[in-house]
Amino acid sequence: METDPYARLFQMLDLSHKVLRRGCRQIDRHAPTLTQADVPAFVGYCIAFVKNIEEHHKQEEELMFPVFAAKVGGVATRLEEHKLVAEALRTFSAHLHALDPSTLPSPPSSPPAALGYDPSTFLDAFSPIRDVVIPHMTSEDGDISPATLRAGGVSEAEVRGVIRAMAVAGRATDRTVGLAFMLVHMGTDERAVFFGNVPWFLRDYVFPSFTLWNGAYWKFASTED
């Protein structure tokens, strides 16, 4: 785990971005060959993916961007990209709920019939997310690199404050969806780095137990780039 605060922040965000890139790749990989029997679990996996992006962007918008906005030129552009991602997520979520109406936030007493799964239609709903979020994360990696933050005059104290705030926010993450999604897309060494400040017995024993909930979802996950 990095001890330099600039490098540590970059390390945390880089690993978060790797998880999202892996999620994008796994959706692209499984969608074309999905069986009807696997649709409910795959929909659950995709909803977890959506929630992970939403939570990641929420933390950036509330805890990181306000600190860096005046000193890092790319932040305004990244915020505009967040709006595009959010719109794409809403469209994709609507498609997921149509595939499995039981996943609606407030399922009606007489839910509509489930939409039949069609790979082409599904990927049409998903591709706007992938096409925006992948280049967005690449650009963001440059915006929050140690060299960029130092060149912009972001202080060490400001970076440490962002790291602390994100750590606190992370404790409120849904353990069986948000945290579990992170865990199943990280290798053992990556977990040790990302959760470096977490006591080992929590990181190595308690946290993995959260992946037992919604276990059918995680067969679609991968730790490979």
pLDDT tens for 194-224 read 998 889 899 999 999 999 999 999 999 999 9
Where does the pLDDT of residue 107 fall: very low under 50, low under 70, confident under 90, or very high at 90 and above? low
Q: How far apart are CA 152 and CA 146, in angstroms?
A: 10
Q: How far is CA 36 from CA 50, 86, 100, 141, in A?
A: 21, 28, 12, 38
Mean pLDDT over the full length of the chain = 94
Residue-by-residue DSSP string for 43-80: HHHHHHHHHHHHHHHHHIIIIIHHHHTTT-TTHHHHHH
Q: Cβ(162)–Cβ(63) under 8 Å?
A: yes
Where does the pLDDT of residue 47 fall: very low under 50, low under 70, confident under 90, or very high at 90 and above? very high
pLDDT tens for 158-182 read 999 999 999 999 888 889 999 999 9
pLDDT of residue 75: 95
Does 151 score more than 80 pLDDT?
yes
